[in-house]
Amino acid sequence: MIEILSEIWQTARRNKLRTTLTGFAVAWGIFMLIVLLGAGNGLINAQMQNNDRYVDNSMMIFGGMTSKAYDGLKEGRSIQLEDKDLATTRARFSQNVDKAGAILFEGGATITIGENYVSSSLRGVFPVDADINKKKLSCGRFINDIDIRDQRKVLVIPENQARELLPTNPRSLLGQVVRVGDMAFTVVGIEQEDKSRMSTEVSVPFTTLQTIYNRGNKVGRIVFTFHGLETEADNEAFEQRYRATINRQHRAAPDDEEAIWVWNRFTQAMQMQKGMNIIQTALWIIGLFTLLSGIVGVSNIMLITVRERTREFGIRKAIGASPMSILNIIITESIVVTGFFGYIGMLLGILANIYMDSTLGSKPIETGLFTTTVFVDPTVGVGTCLGVTLVLIIAGTIAGLMPALKAARIRPIEALRAE
């Protein structure tokens, strides 16, 4: 092996410019492959982080507009979800539904304490809302079942609004009574600030908001977590059963997909994962095609090497060298050249990804209303590096295979005649 490496070094020294240019093509191909994969990972990680604000196994149901005539009624009717729909969700679909709740909104609320006030919106919720939206509290608690049962006048306020009400010590707002319009509410929790979403909504018990603002049996949205629906087919079948049941309660066609809207976060996550896999595959393909130019260059330089060393290979075969030994020399040289410059490109690509991570990674973007991140941890893992190593070995083998076969077929008498 040492002799082969020595021969490779001598060949490279005799053709410095040609070897360097060919090696640059290989290094550039690997560099672009690593950078593309790193950038793709950065975008995917950012999207995953932005979508990690709620649990995947949850659904949200909205009232819609009928698109079909049914039961003597024309299309175009507005469907308003009601308490009976929430009760049906809990009773009829308990096999899959874990926790169910509802949401009501009331805008234009002014929250006051002393001389300080903020303009906000009230969000009537059930305890499950904290689980679904992964709410975190800096202090206190969230809305609980007793609040719902007793229609308590309590609220959970976002930290940024608490800071406006009590700038010097916002957490001291916990337990204090504030005015919401003309009514007194007790602050039972302060929600941790989440800059990735607009924190302008104050959470209150659903039943409290429903009663105070005379909403009757109206429900804005139904939300619930579920289990046992592992595939897209399972989710689609559940959605059809659920839609048909709720539609019938409002005298809408069972198969009318416009009457109610189902936002299934689980299938959305599955589709997003498929999209991410497509992006990663596309980046691999683009990177590999970039690397292909370097492979072609290595193959060409090996063909030239074979032509220049024709007499040498002929003499080797004349004194007993086997075609396999000639084949081994050329393929090894091809792998060494490809691997050496490929690892230089890989190292530079990793350094470029580290630079992107330090400059763009996790850098928040201010939209004016909320903060989002579009680039998170743009790096490649050990698995990717091992995959690229395998690509280098295969690429080097392929690049040297044709020249090696040509060298192995050289006949000694013809080689000795070559100039």
DSSP secondary structure letters along 315-357: HHHHTT--HHHHHHHHHHHHHHHHHHHHHHHHHHHHHHHHHHH
pLDDT at residue 370 is higher than 70: no
CA-CA-CA-CA torsion sign (159, 163, 168, 170)? negative
Q: Which of 3, 27, 17, 1 is closest to 337 using CA atoms?
A: 27
Share of the chain above pLDDT 70, in %: 78
Whether residue 253 sits in one domain with residue 217: no
> Contact, 295 vs 30, CB < 8 A?
no
Whether residue 45 sits in one domain with residue 24: yes
Domain-located, residue 59: no
Domain-located, residue 107: yes
pLDDT, mean of residues 296-306 = 68
Domain-located, residue 371: yes
Tens of pLDDT, residue by residue over 385-417, are: 777 777 767 776 776 677 667 666 766 666 555
Cα–Cα distance between 207 and 350 in angstroms, integer?
55
pLDDT at residue 197 is higher than 60: no
Whether residue 169 sits in one domain with residue 87: no
- Count up the domains in the chain and report the number: 3
**Long-range contacts of 112-118, Cβ-Cβ distance < 8 Å, separation of 24 or more:** 112/178, 112/179, 113/165, 113/166, 113/173, 113/176, 113/177, 113/178, 113/179, 116/164, 116/165, 116/166, 116/167, 117/165, 118/161, 118/164, 118/165
β partners of residue 100? 224
Domain-located, residue 243: yes
Residue 73 DSSP code: B
Provide the pLDDT for residue 190.
93
Provide the pLDDT for residue 65.
93
- Which of 258, 280, 305 is a domain's end point? 258
Cα–Cα distance between 315 and 325 in angstroms, integer?
13
Domain-located, residue 58: no
Domain-located, residue 263: no
Whether residue 208 sits in one domain with residue 77: no
Interior angle at CA 362, CA 359 and CA 365, nearest 5: 90
Domain-located, residue 363: yes
The pTM for the full model equals: 0.69
> Contact, 219 vs 102, CB < 8 A?
yes
Whether residue 168 sits in one domain with residue 197: yes
Whether residue 402 sits in one domain with residue 310: yes
Whether residue 344 sits in one domain with residue 283: yes
Whether residue 361 sits in one domain with residue 319: yes
- Which of 208, 239, 258 is a domain's end point? 258
Tokens 């550039």 correspond to what residue?
A: 28
CA-CA-CA-CA torsion sign (283, 284, 286, 290)? positive
Provide the pLDDT for residue 50.
67
pLDDT at residue 379 is higher than 80: no
Helix (H) / strand (E) element for 58: namely: strand 58-63
Whether residue 121 sits in one domain with residue 185: yes
Cα–Cα distance between 221 and 82 in angstroms, integer?
9
Domain-located, residue 360: yes
- Residue 216 gets the label, from left (phi > 0), alpha (psi -120 to 50) or beta, of left
Provide the pLDDT for residue 252.
93
Task: Read off the pLDDT band of 361 (50, 70, 90).
Answer: low
Domain that residue 86 falls in? 65-96+227-258
Whether residue 163 sits in one domain with residue 17: no
Whether residue 212 sits in one domain with residue 143: yes
Cα–Cα distance between 142 and 33 in angstroms, integer?
47
**Average pLDDT, whole number, for the chain?**
82
Whether residue 176 sits in one domain with residue 325: no
CA-CA-CA-CA torsion sign (383, 386, 388, 391)? negative
pLDDT at residue 23 is higher than 70: yes
- Which of 206, 238, 258 is a domain's end point? 258
Cα–Cα distance between 356 and 37 in angstroms, integer?
12
Provide the pLDDT for residue 11.
61
Q: Which is higher by pLDDT, 3 or 389?
A: 389
Task: Read off the pLDDT band of 374 (50, 70, 90).
Answer: low
pLDDT, mean of residues 348-354 = 86
